[in-house]
Amino acid sequence: MKTYPVLRIIEHSPTVKSFYFERMTDALPGQFVNVWLPGLDEKPFSVSALGDDWLEISVKAYGPFSSAMMELKPGDRVGIRGPFGHGFSLQNDALLVGGGIGIAPLHLLAQALSAQGLRFVSLLGATNKSELIFATDFERRSERCFFTTDDGSMGKKGLVTDDVLQIISDHRIRFVYAAGPEIMFVKLKELLDPLGIDYEFTLERYMKCGIGICGQCVLDGSGARVCVEGPVFNRQALKEVTDLGLPHRDASGRRK
């Protein structure tokens, strides 16, 4: 494990920040790195953007680890290893559906799609305007960009899934990517399966080793390891998963 200093921090809101490091690795959209805070823990985070000489991750404060990340200052060192897992495939005529901090992996995907000249529309939702991270960049890169917020502070008030079918039909969408809360995936599957539209969702599970050894992140039904076969899964692979949207296993392996 090598450690790297935080080069720069962007505060999107008091509980959501992006951290820049030197570009110690390449990463495909959807891949993640494991971040180690000495004395605390190690947790996976999607790469949210890459520049010529920098790598960015974006973090939302939930519990002990992510809250400790919020306390980092430029110059503080953290361990980073990776990238791990399988990323998104790059498809044309796509819709990117991001909920909350799920917008982070879609940001690197939007970078990659636009670099390839592929056409896509974005639909991003969050609790409020300040958590709609990278909004301007998505607007710039997407053919169209739609926003929803729980409180109506930006875009339409409501859920990100409310207008999915309308957008698919208005914008000739043939592929859907999604990242965000798992309840959003359950709803999207209900909407997309009858249409026969292919999709890729990026899943999260509690991880320990991050390299396929411990079995902690295995999905019920398919037995796939999120850290190796995922975190991005396609429609075919998701068909076999039986714990989508259900409470996940904690560090002890028990469901909450």
Ligand X SMILES: Cc1cc2nc3c(=O)[nH]c(=O)nc-3n(C[C@H](O)[C@H](O)[C@H](O)COP(=O)(O)OP(=O)(O)OC[C@H]3O[C@@H](n4cnc5c(N)ncnc54)[C@H](O)[C@@H]3O)c2cc1C
Distance CA 28, CA 33 (A): 11
Least distance from C-beta 204 to ligand X, angstroms?
A: 4
Half-sphere exposure of 191 (CA within 13 A, CB side): 21
Sheet with 198-202: list strands edge to edge: 156-157, 145-149, 120-126, 94-99, 175-179, 198-202, 232-234
Site string (28-67) toward ligand X, x via CB under 6 A: ----x----------xxxx----------xxxx-xxxxxx
- DSSP-assigned letter for residue 41: E
Site string (227-246) toward ligand X, x via CB under 6 A: ----x---------------
- Our CB check for ligand X shows the closer of 49 and 121 to be 49
Site string (118-157) toward ligand X, x via CB under 6 A: ----------------------------------------
The verdict on 43 binding ligand FES (CB under 6 A) reads: no
Site string (162-181) toward ligand X, x via CB under 6 A: -------------------x
Residue 16, phi then psi, degrees to nearest 5: -135, 120
Instruction: Show the CA angle centred on residue 133, arms to residues 76 and 164, nearest 5°.
Output: 145
Q: Is 40 exposed, middle or buried (0-12, 13-18, 19+ CB in 10 A)?
A: exposed
Answer whether 164's CB lies under 8 Å from 194's CB: no
Q: Tell me the window of 55-63, 64-72, 119-127, 203-211 that interacts with ligand FES (CB under 6 A).
A: 203-211
- Our CB check for ligand X shows the closer of 16 and 173 to be 16
Interface with ligand FES by CB under 6 A: which residues? Answer: 207-210, 212-217, 225, 227
